[in-house]
Every structure is written in structure tokens, then in C-alpha cells.
């Protein structure tokens, strides 16, 4: 499935999210757009002002589908493409009022999701050559979870559980409330919830206990690198001698400066909340062409590099 082909449940969320965003921005109507003649047509294009990883086509398309299906959009890029500064991303043709009304909402989706995809790609490139995978968390902008998780995938990362319903993740407060890590794991398993059973460990004793309980995923939280390496070796030994198959995931305090050393310990996954909660939007603009003006040459400044 391509980056611009979404599962049905995500597409439904795209539609609902765009509806809310347009209600927020357009409200009872775009007063400024009424300056333009109702029958005026326009040609415009979206341009990148900085290098980035592009993401957000389905949301941008949906903005103009809801505003005015007569607006035609011809894309030069797909989600997951690397783009250069001054690169053309798409061309729009249609009623001028409609293009102007959808401009900001459409760009808001593109700049936010491209920002997430760009950060993810930096982490993915930093650990290239290791076995580790970069993974997101539930630390997303409220209402934008499915969109940001799509952006993580576009950037080359993997998705963790979507919410509280599709995976059990036992954390320190659950352990305290249950009376211990093994007690918490056994209580979770007794639920027969039919979802992955994951558990966080904060020290090597908890690592051993969780491995013995054969959790599906063991989250190694805020471990110094030398302790993390010991935990990974414990996991390898348990797999070798007990046929365990717990996935080992590092988390906590991870940055571009230390992610490579963490990956080099041999962990399977590295989860980073900052991928989706610390968003720096990519600088994008929309420009309408003056009568008789030519579109910028896409090949002059744009490089499409699909994953």
C-alpha cells in the first residue's frame, strides 16, 4: 500500500478531521474571498521553503474536496518524498475563491505532518545499519493521532499501539497499584484481551521478571547505555535458552545525539515521544500565478526520493 493510500478507518478520520478544521477556520464563510469575482479562476502552486520530508497529501486533497470539488490538484510528490527548498509540490487549478479559502487549512496539514515525517527520517538515518527500528508513542497532538502516525510511517518509522484499546502496556504506576511487576503481568494475562501484552521495566530485576513472564514487548525505560546493553544481553540469553521472544524496546531521554549509541546496544526498537509531541512545522507557501505567468520548473529545485 502506498503512502497516499490509507486504510478505510484512517480515511474516515481524515474526512472528520478536515471537517473540524474547516469549521474552525471558515466558520460562517470566508469574508475576504468575497473580494474576488465569483466566476474568477486561478492557477496556483505549493512550494517548499526548506528541505524536508513531505507528508499530508490526503488531508490537503480532502480540504479542497470539501470546499469545492472543482479545484483540481496535480501532485509532483508523494508522501515520504524528500523535497528541496524552492521545490514545487503541487499545482492547483479552479475557482479562485475556493483556492484562497482552502489555502491556510491545507497548508497547516502539510506543514505539520511534513514536520513530523522530517524528524522521523533524521532518526531513521542516524541508526541506519543497526537492527533497531524507530517507533512512535501516544504522545501526539490531540485529535491528530492518526495523521501523525501516518507521518511517522512516511518518515520511515513504525507505529506503536494506537490507543489504550489495542495493546496492554504495564507502566510503573500499574506495577505499584498491582503490587509488583509479576502480579501486574499475570493480572493482564488473565484478562484474555486478545491484544499484545507489553511491560515497562525500570531496573534489571524487573527486566528478569518480565522476561520470565514472557511478555510480548519489554520497554526498557531511561536505562543508561551500559545498563541497557546488559538488559539486551539478558534478553538474548533468555531467547537462546528459554525460547523467549520478547521484543526489546528502549525509551526515555532519546535524542539525535544519543540514539545511535542506544541502537548499537542491540535493542529491537527505540520509541521516541518527541517525534509527535515536539513539532516544528516545515515552511511551505502557496502562490497564485499572475495572468500570463509560467509555473516554476519542477526539475530546477525538486528531488523526489521515495523510500
Domains of the chain: 8-122+280-301 (3.90.1170.20), 124-277 (3.20.20.70)
| Burial zone of 164 (CB within 10 Å; 0-12 exposed, 13-18 middle, 19+ buried) | exposed
Give the C-alpha separation, 201 to 5, whole Å.
Answer: 37
| Torsion of the alpha carbons at 129, 133, 134 and 135, rounded to the nearest 10 | 180
Give the C-alpha separation, 155 to 134, whole Å.
Answer: 10
C-alpha count within 13 angstroms, C-beta hemisphere, residue 212: 10
pLDDT per position as a tens digit, 263-282: 999 999 999 999 999 999 99
Kindly report whether the global pTM for this prediction surpasses the value 0.75: yes
Give the C-alpha separation, 95 to 68, whole Å.
Answer: 8
Three-class SS state of 280: coil
Phi and psi based region of residue 70 (left: phi greater than 0; alpha: psi -120 to 50; beta: remaining): alpha
Residues 6 or more apart whose Cβ sits within 8 Å of residue 268: 131, 132, 133, 247, 248, 249
Q: What residues act catalytically?
A: 104, 139, 171, 200, 221
Per-residue pLDDT at 269: 98
Per-residue pLDDT at 306: 36
Q: What percent of the chain has pLDDT over 90?
A: 87
Which neighbouring-strand residues pair with 53?
82
Question: Pick from 50, 54, 109, 46: which is nearest to 81 by CA?
Answer: 54
How many C-beta neighbours within 10 Å does residue 49 have? 13
Helix (H) or strand (E) holding 33: none
Do 24 and 104 contact (CB within 8 A), yes or no? no
Give the C-alpha separation, 134 to 152, whole Å.
Answer: 9
Residues, the chain, total?
307
Per-residue pLDDT at 299: 57
Three-class SS state of 101: helix
Averaged in consecutive runs of 10 residues, what is the pLDDT profile of the chain (307 residues)?
66 94 96 95 96 98 98 97 96 97 98 98 98 97 96 97 95 92 95 96 94 95 96 92 89 96 97 96 94 72 40
* Gyration radius of the chain over CA positions: 23
Per-residue pLDDT at 293: 78
Per-residue pLDDT at 2: 42
CA distances from residue 100 to 136, 191, 289 in whole angstroms, order as listed: 34, 53, 13
Do 47 and 296 contact (CB within 8 A), yes or no? yes
Give the C-alpha separation, 168 to 160, whole Å.
Answer: 11
Give the C-alpha separation, 277 to 274, whole Å.
Answer: 5
Give the C-alpha separation, 254 to 219, whole Å.
Answer: 14
Amino acid at each position: 500500500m502506498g503512502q497516499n493510500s490509507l486504510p478505510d478507518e484512517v480515511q474516515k478520520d481524515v474526512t472528520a478531521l478536515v471537517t473540524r478544521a474547516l469549521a474552525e477556520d471558515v466558520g460562517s464563510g470566508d469574508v475576504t474571498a468575497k473580494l474576488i469575482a465569483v466566476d474568477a479562476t486561478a492557477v496556483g502552486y505549493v512550494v517548499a521553503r526548506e528541505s524536508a520530508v513531505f507528508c499530508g497529501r490526503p488531508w490537503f486533497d480532502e480540504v479542497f474536496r470539501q470546499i469545492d470539488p472543482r479545484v483540481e490538484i496535480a501532485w509532483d510528490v508523494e508522501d515520504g518524498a524528500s523535497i528541496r527548498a524552492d521545490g514545487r509540490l503541487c499545482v492547483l487549478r479552479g475557482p479562485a475563491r475556493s483556492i484562497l479559502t482552502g489555502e491556510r487549512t491545507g497548508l497547516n496539514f502539510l506543514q505539520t505532518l511534513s514536520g513530523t515525517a522530517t524528524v522521523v527520517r533524521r532518526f531513521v538515518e542516524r541508526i541506519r545499519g543497526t537492527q533497531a527500528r524507530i517507533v512512535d508513542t501516544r504522545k501526539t497532538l490531540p485529535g491528530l493521532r492518526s495523521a501523525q502516525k501516518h507521518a511517522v510511517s512516511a518518515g520511515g518509522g513504525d507505529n506503536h499501539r494506537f490507543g489504550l484499546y489495542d495493546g496492554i502496556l504495564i507502566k510503573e504506576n500499574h506495577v505499584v497499584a498491582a503490587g509488583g511487576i509479576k502480579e501486574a503481568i499475570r493480572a493482564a494475562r488473565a484478562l484474555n484481551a486478545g491484544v499484545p501484552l507489553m511491560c515497562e521495566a525500570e531496573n534489571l530485576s524487573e527486566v528478569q521478571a518480565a522476561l520470565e513472564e514472557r511478555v510480548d514487548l519489554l520497554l526498557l525505560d531511561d536505562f543508561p547505555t551500559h545498563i541497557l546493553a546488559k538488559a539486551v544481553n539478558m534478553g538474548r540469553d533468555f531467547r537462546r535458552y528459554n525460547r523467549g521472544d520478547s521484543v526489546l524496546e528502549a525509551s526515555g531521554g532519546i535524542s539525535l545525539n544519543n540514539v545511535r549509541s542506544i541502537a548499537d546496544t542491540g535493542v529491537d526498537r527505540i520509541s521516541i515521544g518527541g517525534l509527535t509531541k515536539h513539532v516544528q512545522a516545515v515552511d511551505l507557501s502557496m502562490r497564485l500565478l499572475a495572468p500570463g505567468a509560467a509555473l516554476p520548473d519542477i526539475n530546477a529545485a525538486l528531488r523526489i526520493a521515495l523510500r
